[in-house]
């Protein structure tokens, strides 16, 4: 039964990492999109700075959130 709990914790931590990626990317991208939109409104280049800053920050956030969520779930004995 412990193997099933480990599997569920792993799946849950992957979902938390994915959610952390999406949320942290949108928190950076959307405001910068609105700030940069007036520079190039017709050629589609507005918001590229938010994209290039958002991807690395979101990746770091998801790489931290996944393992930390797993360790927290294991210490609190979630899904056991």
Residues 5-28 pLDDT 10s: 999 999 999 999 999 999 999 998
Burial readout 15-45 (b: 16 or more C-beta within 10 A, e: otherwise): ebbeebbeebbeebbeebbeebeeeeeeeee
Contact 29, 54 (CB under 8 A): yes
**What is the pLDDT averaged over residues 63-79?**
94
Reported as a single tens digit per residue, the pLDDT across 16-70 is 999 999 999 999 888 887 777 666 556 666 557 778 888 999 999 999 999 999 9
Q: pTM of this prediction?
A: 0.82
Contact 33, 47 (CB under 8 A): yes
The ranges assigned to domains in the chain are 2-75
Break the chain down into helix, strand, coil percent, rounded to 5: 80, 0, 20
* Residue-level pLDDT at 33: 78
Place of tokens 């979101």: 58
């Amino acid at each position: 039964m412990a193997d099933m709990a480990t599997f569920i914790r792993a799946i849950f931590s992957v979902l938390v990492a994915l959610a952390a990626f999406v949320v942290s990317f949108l928190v950076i991208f959307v405001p910068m999109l609105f700030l940069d939109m007036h520079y190039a409104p017709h050629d589609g280049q507005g918001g590229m700075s938010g994209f290039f800053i958002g991807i690395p920050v979101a990746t770091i956030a998801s790489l931290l959130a996944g393992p930390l969520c797993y360790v927290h779930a294991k210490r609190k004995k979630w899904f056991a």
